[in-house]
Structure 1
Amino acid sequence: MKQPRDIRFSVLDLASIVEGGTAADSFHNSLDLARHAEKWGYHRYWFAEHHNMIGVASSATSLLIGHIAGGTQSIRVGSGGIMLSNHAPLVIAEQFGTLESLYPGRIDLGLGRAPGSDQPASRALRRGLGSDGSEFPEQLSELRAYFDPAGAGSRPAGVRAVPGEGLNVPIWLLGSSGFSAELAAKLGLPFAFASHFAPEYLLQALHIYHSNFRPSEVLDKPYVMIGLGVAAADTVDEARKLATSQQQQFLNIIRGRTGKLQPPVESMDGLWTVQEKAIMLDKQRYSFSGDKAAIKERLQDILKETQADELIISAGIYDHEARLRSYEIVAEAMKEL
């Protein structure tokens, strides 16, 4: 059984745009959080690619990674993830080859097969190519081939990624179902699961990954990261209130609309129906709030349940200072486990 002291902990940032704020504010706050996270012992700082969402500013993911890596010293920075179906594999190899050349030994390339957008945005990104994610294994093989100096894999003859070729950019597969878990196991790659919004598939996906894992040049044994949504504060009541910003955002998703991150409210009663509350509580089994004691207890239970190697924490908190304090409390809790 893994000991808590062996568990890494990291940050997942959507560069949320808050009500009354701008994308520029979000980028400034992300860099400030990354610098604090580095000091508090966080291992990675990842951005997720999303498009056509007025409350999420992480669409140009590679640019944001460079912004954060350039403003920090040691924390790993990467994508959680790049949605490969939106891009030519060569372009991603060149972008992350450039990042690795600028910030050697600090860049991660997490990949997902979902579009990270709605259908109109998907068509705009892909120019009507009709990609549905089924070609992800082939795209992944081509992408990995661009980093391989021997050219092994399925890259087009005579095409090379410069920069990129010969560089060690760790590739992760991300998922919210069993598909990427099985593929990551087959290829011997690290696997990250989005349990903060797809909790019902977590244990099944982890079982698939562990049961089918094949050692590779990348890993000799499985390595799993799971996503958690956490709102921590010095009191339980304060933390519960902070969490309502993320709950309002999730409620909008359930209702099929997007918006900026809203200020917290005293209670969600009156904002959601009984049915919506039940859906959200089920979907947010791995999103929780509390003071340090409560957070530490919940983290310990999750680690025991999942045997994860790493936790990546998302915090949809409206106030920047409160978000900083939340991540600080999580770091303190992890170190006390």
Structure 2
Amino acid sequence: MTWPIMSNSCYENISDLSPTKIGLRAGYLAIIGFFGIVGNIFLLISLFLDKRIKSAINYLVINHTCLDLLQSGVRLPLYIVNIIMNSNGLGYELCTFHGFISGIYFIGTTYTLTAMAIFRYLVVCQSPAVKLAPRHAIYAIVLVWIIAIIMCLLPFWGLSHYDYNIIERSCLPTWNEGLANQINAVFESLIDFGLPLLTTFICYLKIYTVLRKIKTDLMRYRCESISANTCQYSSDRAKKRFTLTLSILFLNFLLCFTVWSIISFIVYPVTAGTACVPDDLHYFAISLLYLNSALNPLIFFARMRSLRMKFYFILETMTGRKQPETTLATSGTKRNNTIER
């Protein structure tokens, strides 16, 4: 959501940025974009190589990774063009497209994180009879995309419109004409962000309340093994670790979006667009949005050993050289596989 800040005298000198400063900004974003693209491609390949690819939650992780690729591979390069030009270098059509995919990414990511939290809540807190199949994840993904596309099409249907925002250096929906549009802005903010984020927070709060009460972590999880007790403990730890990984993913989203959200949803609306937010601070807030997509693969590779092993396998295939950590982990992997069978 943007507000009428283009007439704000605080931003009259934005066009006077030095070429050095523009180059540093564009270069920093290009580095973020490079690692975001490479990291998410490696994560996608690792997920497809994982034997548990058909689990419901993995489908949601794949969808989340695809959205991060959209952010790093499409949205960010278009934004860098505007950074280099220090104006709307995309033209009206491309700028409108940039605004559209920005909404797809934000709303799609928010609802995908919510779907992950709901799925974990059902697994941890509900009856053992609840079985989540891949089709349930597909239904959730389809619903996420329907919501995102409909909300992003509203500007084309006369509810707000995409307009170039000088401080954002991009096209975003603008609701500054009439009471009806401002009411619609509040409604969309609640639907797009408020409701899903609140739902996600409540789900993880309930999950960790349950985990705290159960000393053996997830007692409901049954493992088909002769050594049931040992396998139960190992599997429970793995499932708890995966739940923690998803909650870290959500926390990373909150941290990277906090500064920009405060500026866009609190500072500008409360001051009716008259607040003087330093351009460097606004750039920092926006760069965090893109940094989020580059950090997400690192979270999965750092937390999930199986994905990390697939990553090493990909590197071995590409370079033809044995990765040291793969060699060191071989014996441990065999022991773990013996326990988890």
Structure with bigger gyration radius: 2
Name the TM-score, length of structure 2 as normaliser. 0.26
Specify which structure has the higher proportion of helix.
2
Name the TM-score, length of structure 1 as normaliser. 0.26
Specify which structure has the higher proportion of strand.
1
The structure with higher relative contact order (CA 8 Å, sep 6+) is 2
